[in-house]
Amino acid sequence: MKQQFLPLLFKSFLFLCVLLSLDTSAQNINPKFKVIAFYTGKNDQAHVSYVHEANKWFPKMGLKYDFNYDSTSNWNNLNATFLSKYQVVLFLDTRPEEPAQRKAFEEYMNKGGAWMGFHFAAFALTSSSYPQNWDWYHQTFLGSGEYASNTWRPTSAVLKVEDVTHSVTSKLGNTFKSAPNEWYRWEKDLRKNADIKILLSIDSTSFPLGTGPKQYEIWHTGYYPVAWTNKKYKMIYVNMGHNDMDYEDPPYNKELSHTFDNEEQSKFILSSLLWLGQSKK
C-alpha cells in the first residue's frame, strides 16, 4: 500500500508544480477584447526597459480585467489579416516604416479599430532616422507634427487632468504626480486643433522640469500636452514610456525607475486601454 501511495503523491506534487509555474501571460478563454502590441526594442535602453516592463504588466492586467494581450516585434504582422483578430493595437516604442504596414494601419483605424501609442511612437524629426515622412499619422491622426524638444534627465512631473468628465480621467483627481519620464514638446499647438481632445498636460507646479545639464533641456514655462485623443478615431497617445536609466556609472544602463510603479499613472493607462477596447467609434 505504501509503495503505491508514494508514486501517486509524487505525481500530485509534479502537477502542482506545473500549475504554480504557469506564465502570467496565460490568456482568457472568452475575453472582452484582444490587444496586440508592436515594438522594436533595440535602440534606447530606456525605451527597451519600458517595452520589457509593458510586456509583463499588460498580461497581468488582462487576466484581471478580462482582455487578452499579445505582442510582436515583427512589424510585417501589421496587415489586414493579422489585425482582424484584434480590437486594440499598441505601439510601445516605435512606428511602422514600410508603406504596406502604414497603409494597413490607416485602413484599420478608418474601419473603427483602436490604438494606443506611447512616447517614442509619436517621434518624428526630419533630420533623424525617424523623419516626418508620414503626413496622415503625424499631422492628421496625432496632430502633433514633428518632435520639437525634450526635457532631460527623466523626472517626475505633476500632471493636470484637462477634462475630469472623460471616461479615462474621471477616476483621477485634478492633478497627480507621474513616474519619471523624458517629456516631449511638439511642433503643433494641439489646443488649436478642433479634432484633438487633450486629456493630460504638464501642470505649472512642475517647473522647473528637468535637471540638465544643458539649460535648454530644463523647462521653466509653457504649455505641454502629454496625453490626448483624436475625436475622429478610437485612439489615445500618452507621452509616458521612457524609464530613467543610469547611463554614466557601472553597471551601465541600470534601471532607476519603472513606469508602472506609479499607481495613478497606471490607473490612467489601464482606463485608457479599457475605454478603447470596449467603446464604439
pLDDT tens-digit series, residues 109-166:
999 999 999 999 999 999 999 999 999 999 999 999 999 999 999 999 999 999 999 9
Higher-pLDDT residue of 83, 43: 83
pLDDT of residue 195: 98
Res. 230: pLDDT tops 70: yes
Domain assignment present for 5: no
Tell me how far apart the alpha carbons of residues 136 and 22 are, in angstroms, rounded to a whole number. 42
Res. 6: pLDDT tops 70: no
Number of compact structural domains in the chain: 1
Tell me how far apart the alpha carbons of residues 241 and 39 are, in angstroms, rounded to a whole number. 12
| Across 19-33, 140-154, 209-223, least confident range | 19-33
Q: How many CB atoms lie within 10 A of CB 41?
A: 16
Residue-number span of the structural domain to which 43 is assigned: 31-278
pLDDT of residue 15: 45
pLDDT of residue 29: 86
pLDDT of residue 32: 96
Closest CA to 205 of 193, 217, 219: 219
Domain assignment present for 17: no
DSSP one-letter string for 40-107: ---S-HHHHHHHHHHHHHHHHHHHHHT-EEEEES-GGG-SHHHHTT-SEEEESS----SHHHHHHHHH
Domain assignment present for 239: yes
Q: What is the pLDDT of residues 50-90, one digit of tens each?
A: 999 999 999 999 999 999 999 999 999 999 999 999 999 99
Helical (H) or strand (E) element with 237: strand 234-238
Tell me the one-letter amino acid at 78.
L
pLDDT of residue 257: 87
Tell me how far apart the alpha carbons of residues 204 and 91 are, in angstroms, rounded to a whole number. 29
pLDDT of residue 26: 66
Res. 35: pLDDT tops 90: yes
Domain assignment present for 23: no
Domain assignment present for 138: yes
Domain assignment present for 10: no
17: which DSSP letter? Answer: H
pLDDT confidence of 215, banded at 50, 70, 90? Answer: very high
Domain assignment present for 121: yes
pLDDT of residue 21: 36
Sequence-ordered list of residues with C-beta below 8 angstroms from that of 231, at least 6 positions apart, any chain: 195, 196, 197
Q: What is the mean pLDDT of the chain?
A: 91
Beta strand pairing call for 196-202 and 225-230: antiparallel
Torsion of CA 60, 61, 62, 67, to 10 degrees: 180
CA angle 187, 191, 194 (to 5 degrees): 110
Euclidean distance between the first and the last CA atom of the chain, given in angstroms as a whole number: 66
Domain assignment present for 228: yes
pLDDT of residue 152: 96
> Any idea what the CATH number is for the domain that residue 262 is in?
3.40.50.880
* Model confidence pTM above 0.85: yes
Please say whether the beta carbons of 83 and 89 come within 8 A: yes
